């Protein structure tokens, strides 16, 4: 009797082990796509925010003319890197705070198409040359004032000559945060200054050096702050353009 139980148990274990054989052996996606979104005018990457900023749009056209798009979010410095793609032919473009790479006219006909068709296999680098709506540059270094606030100077210029993308600037912020990820998605609203503009008010401040100071009184001492200026124009989804991130140490 005991023997029989052992036999049955042994069989069961053997069957169980046999069933473990792996059948779903399609190879993992492991191709890499990386690159940058670059301001054609300055050669620098276009600063953005993670999440609702720049994203890379992939249309895998190797099996369908009308694929559902796949998006890769860009990092805040305007670079992207994705390491888990399948092999295939992709039509790649980018969306963000710059003149759209693919434009259509009122009838839906494509008038501008700067997307790139790329065979993804191994590691592929795809850069995009774009015209940002706005260029925001620091002027000099931010300083810590005697009252504990931070003052910085910046200059905003238009990044494109195309009047279709020169709408009014609607608002501007000095974003302050305690870590290097700083932007509209991530900031300390106690200290971040916000300026709203009506109509074309902001045009007068373009191409000028403007000074801005943090709000909300003195910043807590003996730590680092990460600051960044962001502004946006009244076009489409109103993406922010950003300056790069400056680190300020409040002693």
Partner 1 sequence: MKKTIYTALCFLICWTTACKKLDVPPINIIQDKDVLSNAGGVQAYMARLYAQLPIEDFRYSPERGLNFFWIISPFPAVTGEALSRDQRGAMQENVNESPWADCYRLVRDVDYFLENIDQYSSDFSEAQVNGWKGEARFIRAATYFALVKRYGGVPLVDKVLQYPSNDLEGLNMARASEEASYDFIAADLDYAYQNMSETNQAGRANKYAAAGFKSRVMLFAGSIAKYNNITLIDGGARICGIPSSKAVTYFKAACDAAKLLDGKYSLYKKTWAAGDKEAQYQNFVNLFFDASSPENIFVKQYHYPESVHGYDAYNVPRQLMGANGYSAEVNPTLDYVELLDGLPKNSDGTLKTTTAGKYDLYTNTMDLFANAEPRLRATVVLPGDQLKGQSIEIRRGIYTGSSAGGITPLLPAGSTANYPTADIVQSSNANQTPYKLPDGTTMNPAGLSGIFTGDGTCAISGFSIRKWLVPDKPTSEVLENRSDQTWIEMRYAEVLLNYAEAAWELNSLGQNGTYLSDAMTAINQIRERAGATSLTGAGDLLSVDAIRKERRKELGFENKIWWDMRRWRTADKEQNATLYRVLMPFYAANDKKYFFDARTDERNVRYTFDVRWYYEQIPNGEIQKSQKLVQNPGY
Q: Determine the Cα–Cα distance for residues 186 and 177; give it in Å rounded to an integer.
A: 7
User: Does 66 help bind partner 1 (rule: CB under 8 A)?
Assistant: yes
Can you tell me whether residue 192 is helix, strand or coil? Answer: coil
Residue 151 near residue 145, CB atoms below 8 Å: yes
Among 29, 140, 216, 220, binds partner 1 (CB under 8 A): 216
Q: Determine the Cα–Cα distance for residues 134 and 240; give it in Å rounded to an integer.
A: 9
Q: Which two tokens mark 141?
A: 């270094």
Q: Which two tokens mark 169?
A: 């600037």
CA 38, 41, 44, 49 dihedral sign is negative
CB of 63 to partner 1, least distance (A): 13
User: Does 211 help bind partner 1 (rule: CB under 8 A)?
Assistant: no
User: Does 188 help bind partner 1 (rule: CB under 8 A)?
Assistant: no
Among 29, 180, 234, 247, binds partner 1 (CB under 8 A): 234
User: Does 111 help bind partner 1 (rule: CB under 8 A)?
Assistant: no
CB of 217 to partner 1, least distance (A): 9
Among 125, 143, 194, 203, binds partner 1 (CB under 8 A): 194
User: Does 68 help bind partner 1 (rule: CB under 8 A)?
Assistant: yes
Q: Helix (H) and strand (E) counts for the chain?
A: 1, 19
CB of 234 to partner 1, least distance (A): 6
Find the distance separating the first CA and the last CA of the chain, reported in whole Å: 83
Among 113, 119, 189, 201, binds partner 1 (CB under 8 A): 189
User: Does 244 help bind partner 1 (rule: CB under 8 A)?
Assistant: no
Among 19, 107, 164, 179, binds partner 1 (CB under 8 A): 107
Of the two residues 31 and 128, which places its CB atom closer to partner 1 in the complex?
128
Sequence-distant (6+) residues with CB within 8 A of 100 are 112, 236
Sequence-distant (6+) residues with CB within 8 A of 142 are 150, 151, 152, 153, 227, 246, 248
Q: Determine the Cα–Cα distance for residues 63 and 85; give it in Å rounded to an integer.
A: 15
Each residue 148-187 as x (binds partner 1 by CB under 8 A) or -, in order, gives -------------------x--xx------------x---
Of the two residues 104 and 121, which places its CB atom closer to partner 1 in the complex?
104
CB of 96 to partner 1, least distance (A): 10
Residue 174 near residue 200, CB atoms below 8 Å: no
The closest of 232, 245, 227, 246 to 77, measured between CA atoms, is: 245
Q: Which residue has the tokens 């705070």?
A: 97
Window contacting partner 1 (CB under 8 A); options: 23-31, 36-44, 124-132, 236-244 = 236-244
CB of 222 to partner 1, least distance (A): 21
Question: Which residues in this chain contact partner 1 in the complex, by CB under 8 A?
Answer: 52, 66, 68-69, 95, 104, 106-109, 167, 170-171, 184, 189-190, 192, 194, 196, 216, 234-238
């Amino acid at each position: 009797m005991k023997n029989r139980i052992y036999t049955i148990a042994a069989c069961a274990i053997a069957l169980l082990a046999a069933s473990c054989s792996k059948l779903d052996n399609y190879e993992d996606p492991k191709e890499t796509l990386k690159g940058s979104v670059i301001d054609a005018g300055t050669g620098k990457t276009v600063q953005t925010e993670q999440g609702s900023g720049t994203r890379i749009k992939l249309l895998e056209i190797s099996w369908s003319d009308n694929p559902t798009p796949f998006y890769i979010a860009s990092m805040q410095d305007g670079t992207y890197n994705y390491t888990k793609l399948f092999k295939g032919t992709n039509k790649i473009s980018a969306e963000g705070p710059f003149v759209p790479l693919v434009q259509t006219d009122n009838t839906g006909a494509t008038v501008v198409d700067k997307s790139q068709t790329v065979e993804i296999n191994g590691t592929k680098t795809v850069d995009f040359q774009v015209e940002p709506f706005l260029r925001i540059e620091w002027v000099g270094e931010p300083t810590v004032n005697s009252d504990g606030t931070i003052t910085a100077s910046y200059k905003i210029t238009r990044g494109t000559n195309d009047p279709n993308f020169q709408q009014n600037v609607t608002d501007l912020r000095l974003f302050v945060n305690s870590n290097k990820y700083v932007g509209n998605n991530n900031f300390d609203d106690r200290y971040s200054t916000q300026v709203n503009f009506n109509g074309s008010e902001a045009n007068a401040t373009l191409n000028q050096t403007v000074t801005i100071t943090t709000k909300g009184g003195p910043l807590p001492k003996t730590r680092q702050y990460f600051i960044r200026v962001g502004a946006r124009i009244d076009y489409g989804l109103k993406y922010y353009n950003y300056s790069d991130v400056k680190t300020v140490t409040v002693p």
